[in-house]
């Protein structure tokens, strides 16, 4: 899939078929995330892949989007490693670039995903469920699967609102 097409046609996908996401697809998604740019090339991103239904149900219990995580083939919890971070704003930007690479790769592979951010309000409990030390700061969870439908619509502000000035 062309890169511009991927950028413009990617949508949040919240309903999935039962078809599994393969380990090779998960590796490609993580690898794509890892090729994001980061300040000082510090690569703060860390990943936990949650495929087991039991563990997904534990994660799901920590968000109002329970149904999405339970229905996904795999959940990928994305963390930032506090021990390599150097500037919160820049590291969080890098994490956003990483997550966007992952979403675009997922779309390019014919899969679908949604970026779940609300669960970050329960980050301490997520770390407990995933048996991770506080050093790893939860950034988001991606629910990933084969799309049951692709009818999600979205819209963006017009360029006249986004382009403030030209010199």
* CA separation for the pair 121, 62 (Å, rounded): 9
Q: Are 21 and 144 in contact (CB under 8 A)?
A: yes
Interface residue with a second copy, options 21, 72, 85, 99 (CB under 8 A):
99
Distances (CA, A) of 123 to 94, 107, 120, 127: 19, 27, 5, 6
Interface map 49-88 toward a second copy (x if CB under 8 A): xxxx--x-----------------------x--------x
Establish if 134 lies at the interface with a second copy (CB under 8 A): no
User: Which of 25, 51, 12, 22 lies closest to 149, judged by CA?
Assistant: 12
32-51 residues in contact with a second copy (CB under 8 A) are 32, 34-37, 39, 41, 43, 45-51
Tell me whether residue 140 is exposed, middle or buried, using C-beta atoms within 10 angstroms of its C-beta: 0 to 12, 13 to 18, 19 or more: buried
Interface residue with a second copy, options 66, 70, 82, 120 (CB under 8 A):
120
Contacting residues toward a second copy, per CB under 8 A: 1-8, 10, 12, 27-28, 30-32, 34-37, 39, 41, 43, 45-52, 55, 79, 88-90, 92-101, 103-105, 107-108, 115, 117, 120, 130-132, 136, 139-140, 154, 156-157, 159, 162-167
């Amino acid at each position: 899939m062309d890169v511009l097409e991927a950028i413009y046609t990617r949508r949040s996908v919240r309903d999935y078929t039962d078809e599994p996401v393969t380990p090779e697809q998960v590796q490609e998604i993580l690898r794509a995330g890892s090729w994001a740019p980061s300040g000082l090339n510090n690569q703060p991103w860390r990943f936990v892949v949650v495929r087991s239904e039991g563990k997904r149900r534990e994660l799901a219990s920590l968000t109002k989007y329970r149904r999405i995580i339970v229905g996904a083939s795999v959940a990928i919890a994305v963390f930032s490693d506090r021990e390599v971070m150097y500037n919160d704003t820049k590291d969080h930007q890098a994490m956003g670039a990483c997550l966007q690479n992952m979403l675009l790769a997922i779309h390019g592979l014919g899969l679908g995903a949604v970026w779940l951010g609300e669960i970050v309000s329960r980050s301490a409990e997520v770390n407990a469920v995933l048996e991770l030390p506080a050093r790893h700061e939860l950034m988001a969870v991606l629910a990933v699967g084969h799309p049951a439908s692709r009818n999600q619509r979205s819209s963006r502000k017009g360029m006249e609102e986004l382009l403030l000035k030209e010199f």
